Amino acid sequence: MSAIQTAAATGAATPTATQLTLFIGPPGTSDELVNLCADVKRREGWGDPRPAQEFAAFREGLVKTLLEEVDGARAPLNELLERIVGEPIGALHAEVRQGLVRGERCPALAINLIDSTLATGAPLLTRLGERQIQALTSALGVAFGAEWVEATGT
């Protein structure tokens, strides 16, 4: 268990990682979507990886919308982090990748905690403790209807 996982799980320590990665698990809502995920996994098990790859790319694209500015509005992830840490974000360095956690292919949102800064220029790391990480994982879980969101730090 990483420092961030330990902090989020126990409320014990502030993370010292330089990158926070949030793995967004499979949909846990809407029976239709849950059934689609099960079908995709079944087909992958039968040797047809195409539906799983397409579904993973689709979910990754949804997570990327958090990083996009639309019609001059700031990126949703910036807004969310500002609310969570309680002060303006200056620069946000994040990217979306794919991950494999708990046997699930899932989108992973990686945030560089040193290069991402507050408006004051201080690294985001200085204001992102266990409560803030827990709030972030909860917000992402709700936003994506995810069964789980797992945070790790490196």
- Angle separating helix axes 50-64 and 31-45, nearest 10 degrees: 140
What whole-number percentage of the chain has pLDDT above 70?
A: 90
Tell me the C-alpha distance between 151 and 91, whole Å. Answer: 21
Report the mean per-residue pLDDT for the chain: 85
For 101-140, what is each residue's pLDDT tens digit? 888 889 999 999 999 999 999 999 999 889 999 999 999 9
Domain locations along the chain: 3-153
pLDDT band at 56, cuts 50/70/90?
Answer: confident
The alpha helices in 17-128, defined as continuous H runs, are: 31-45, 50-64, 76-85
The per-residue pLDDT for 14 is: 47
